[in-house]
Structure 1
């Protein structure tokens, strides 16, 4: 055992929604366990600290996206990215989780040793030094995409453009778009939130899309939510609104999937009503696929539609032929003059934050392992990961995952087990995609995430109601292997600098 390694019972990677939620639930049920959060960045927030482009906001309601144990107090039903980051920072401080965070700590590898039943995490700190962390259990709250490499398709001639080219994942703080002609390439959630923000000061904004996306408008401030909050105590109101919004999300998704023709008609009808009379809705706002084959995008307070009506923004549906010094030439022959090009072209999927994983000296590929109950990996001891829903707020499943991990740790402690892992064995299992979307970032990398089976407990579902039932009646021993490290090699961890601190 390396005496220089800092020891904690639980090591949590990531100080975003997933990591903070895990820290709270694990400590809530297992107050005797020490935990440390390893955060690569210098601030709390994860996604909500990385993305800083104009208009960054949630694409689902904040009451289901927020932490269940920390009520959202602002009036918005849909929140801006900066406000979400501030909320997470306050939540971490309120519950003492901030004292357990090691900022500027990039985890590069995680190595399991069956002789001591511990993980060793190798990290690189922001000052360039290396440091080791050791622990009994590791929780990955690292999200599902690559923080370093967004998706950048080959665009002919882009290097010849005389203006600026930026990707939303790395938005320069000094960039001034005021008075400029801006072309945003893409029509996903990022583009739809970015265009209205840019249009406030830009000369003109064009959203260039290859094909239309489903969009539905939602009020930034929901009158019903405000009414509930006026008559109920804060925490109760938060829980009621959270349940109400989750139910609406589940029911609307069910309706769109079971009655796609009605769903297409409904979206088209509402879009026609929101746009100027005579606007060619079927060219720019009629997708070729059914609702929720890809994630549906959210328009706030009709902002995008209103900008189109005012002439401050437009949607162009075409393909890029090439870029020259002053703009974009389309396959149709149309030209879009631009001073600034924004490539809102999407994300790259990545499992476990790109951390190299090894068990007893043998490197393993997480993408070769099946997922168990949506949070453990086949034959990988004492390790959990967090993956959210494609059709609802990330936190709805993240909180269930955190509770499940807390329950597993309590079960292991009560019986003296030092390791646990799910085992499929020789049972045949058909594979299906972990993400059930036809979105570009999923189709580009169908094997970038751990595998989902087709039957429980190896099936990654995107069904909040069924997951609630399963978690409520979970049999923790199902397909699990439990055991103890040899007594002579069991680690005797030193008290670290935060041992005994209030959490």
Structure 2
């Protein structure tokens, strides 16, 4: 056996670390930072399937791609977002620049194995470790070799959707359409849409982001139609800091500005939950005010659900509303009958003319990056498991899951759970435990099972029977509350009655 540059024990196509992190996006970087800070000297490796770090932000490349959360909460707690322009909305490039700055500042890139696709992960109870089978690309060619990794601890930081394919429904007569049909997840770099008529199918965050960008600049489309089955709640929000957070930033620094946006987001969520009818009217009236009564049709802007039953679509500086008001884009609420040679036939309208059709129809849920996970060679039945404190699963040893909030920035929750996982590893290393796992109550004290994600969004509903569940009480409930999670993960002892430690 030999030792590699990161101190790992190596053999013939077998590499051993203390910790393996699967995924090199925001979650993986957070896990790596907290491990490095909390457990100095621990040997870890980030296994990233792509050529670059960044995850979602490296994958997607459609026009106008930006954050739908403010960057003061989307940025890491240990490295606050800083913008000379006081912008709070990050573009793809500024987000990647920020992430790469963090990686460089904390010297994390030396821990990354790029183009390493994890195929299987198996827990061996006898050895007390995880064994991962991977396919690694060699140099710049397409040849691959199988490499086996072993580690006591495993972090899944792969996100929650399929990087290979987005969700596209079966559209009748699809082949009849003569132009390109594009899903935003696979945006062609050389797409020419200048002076073209475009139909965007969908009304979620992707469509709301795309449409203003498609109608601007030298390459602008002649007209864009947003075709939706039902409306989404949308709201104007400033893209730059307003006077209150700007003053807090000036007098008290980055942390004060970050806390302002944390509390503002929590306030908006809970007021929507407490007064859904009033907030529904507020958002709908806001749209009419933005686009003008002549462009406003109530059926196009009145969702069928309560505010925050699905994520709210933010429109920085009202850019989407300005595009509708200008006449460069329009909204049609209808159902698709079929594609035709020249566009999309709907039930209530004539054919919507199109040179290009964009299917902004959502994501395909794929937890753990499609990795086959087994426990002593027995497949892990994901839907039968419960999520513990948002970062572990019952009876799955030394396995940590990165999952963010549905009602706030992804990174807020990631920062808390990855720090908690690192603290847990420090406890185990100090007290010489071999593994730990949360365990369900004994028979006779069965818990109520409820879906782990309580949104009504299509991509969640399509996959609710494929993902782990939650219950109704702590520590098996996902509270979607940053203050509560901060207290329970950072100030309460991690050594509770539910988490069992084994030597």
TM-fit CA distance, 1:225: 6.9
**CA 281–472 in structure 1, closer or farther in 2 if over 3 Å, else same:** farther
1:458 matched to 2:466: no
Post-superposition Cα deviations, 1:302-342, rounded to whole Å, max 9, x if no partner, equal 11111111111111111111111111111113221111100
> CA contact under 8 A between 1:268 and 1:286: conserved in structure 2?
yes
Match of 2:278 among 237, 262, 267: 262
1:112 matched to 2:112: no
Calculate the TM-score normalised by the size of structure 1.
0.93
Q: Aligned partners of 2:428 and 2:438: how far apart in 1?
A: 14
Aligned to 1:498: none
For the residue of structure 1 that corresponds to 2:470, the secondary structure is: coil
Post-superposition Cα deviations, 1:399-446, rounded to whole Å, max 9, x if no partner, equal 010111011011101101111111114330111111110111111111
Pairs within 5 Å for 1:92-241: 92-126=103-137, 127-200=143-216, 201-224=220-243, 227-228=246-247, 231-232=250-251, 237-241=253-257
1:473 matched to 2:481: no
**CA 365–149 in structure 1, closer or farther in 2 if over 3 Å, else same:** farther
Aligned to 1:429: 447
Q: Aligned partners of 1:96 and 1:473: how far apart in 2?
A: 29
RMSD: 1.6
Aligned to 2:5: none
Match of 2:385 among 369, 385, 390: 369
> CA contact under 8 A between 2:249 and 2:257: conserved in structure 1?
no
Give the count of matched residue pairs: 481
TM-fit CA distance, 1:277: 2.9
Match of 2:372 among 332, 337, 356: 356
For the residue of structure 1 that corresponds to 2:132, the secondary structure is: strand
TM-fit CA distance, 1:229: 7.2
Aligned to 1:392: 408
TM-fit CA distance, 1:474: 2.5
TM-fit CA distance, 1:81: 1.7
Q: Aligned partners of 2:490 and 2:81: how far apart in 1?
A: 25
Aligned to 2:436: 420
Post-superposition Cα deviations, 1:196-216, rounded to whole Å, max 9, x if no partner, equal 111111111111101110001
Aligned to 1:307: 323
For the residue of structure 2 that corresponds to 1:73, the secondary structure is: coil
Post-superposition Cα deviations, 1:106-157, rounded to whole Å, max 9, x if no partner, equal 1111111122211111111233221111111001111111111211101111
1:443 matched to 2:461: yes
For the residue of structure 2 that corresponds to 1:107, the secondary structure is: strand
Post-superposition Cα deviations, 1:357-387, rounded to whole Å, max 9, x if no partner, equal 1112222122221111111111111110011
Q: Aligned partners of 2:175 and 2:70: how far apart in 1?
A: 39
For the residue of structure 2 that corresponds to 1:131, the secondary structure is: strand
Task: Single out whichever of 361-370 and 297-306 deviates more from structure 2.
Answer: 361-370
For the residue of structure 1 that corresponds to 2:17, the secondary structure is: strand
> CA contact under 8 A between 2:417 and 2:489: conserved in structure 1?
no
> CA contact under 8 A between 2:246 and 2:257: conserved in structure 1?
no
Q: Aligned partners of 1:28 and 1:85: how far apart in 2?
A: 22
> CA contact under 8 A between 1:271 and 1:281: conserved in structure 2?
no
Aligned to 2:11: 3
Aligned to 1:500: none
Q: Identify unmatched segments of 5+ residues in structure 2.
A: 2-9, 138-142
Q: Which of structures 1 and 2 has the larger relative contact order (alpha carbons within 8 angstroms, sep 6+)?
A: 1
TM-fit CA distance, 1:226: 7.0
Aligned to 1:58: 67
> CA contact under 8 A between 1:432 and 1:452: conserved in structure 2?
yes
Aligned to 1:290: 306
Q: Aligned partners of 1:350 and 1:89: how far apart in 2?
A: 26
**CA 264–68 in structure 1, closer or farther in 2 if over 3 Å, else same:** same
For the residue of structure 2 that corresponds to 1:18, the secondary structure is: helix
> CA contact under 8 A between 2:405 and 2:480: conserved in structure 1?
yes
Aligned to 1:73: 82
TM-fit CA distance, 1:237: 2.4
TM-fit CA distance, 1:469: 2.3
Match of 2:58 among 49, 55, 70: 49
> CA contact under 8 A between 1:366 and 1:377: conserved in structure 2?
no
Q: Aligned partners of 1:340 and 1:462: how far apart in 2?
A: 39
TM-fit CA distance, 1:230: 6.3
> CA contact under 8 A between 1:228 and 1:237: conserved in structure 2?
no
Post-superposition Cα deviations, 1:260-301, rounded to whole Å, max 9, x if no partner, equal 111012112211211123333412111121101111111111
Task: Single out whichever of 113-122 and 161-170 deviates more from structure 2.
Answer: 113-122
Aligned to 1:329: 345
> CA contact under 8 A between 1:351 and 1:450: conserved in structure 2?
no
Calculate the TM-score normalised by the size of structure 2.
0.93
> CA contact under 8 A between 1:158 and 1:323: conserved in structure 2?
yes
Q: Aligned partners of 2:172 and 2:154: how far apart in 1?
A: 44
Q: Aligned partners of 1:16 and 1:239: how far apart in 2?
A: 23
Q: Aligned partners of 2:25 and 2:344: how far apart in 1?
A: 37
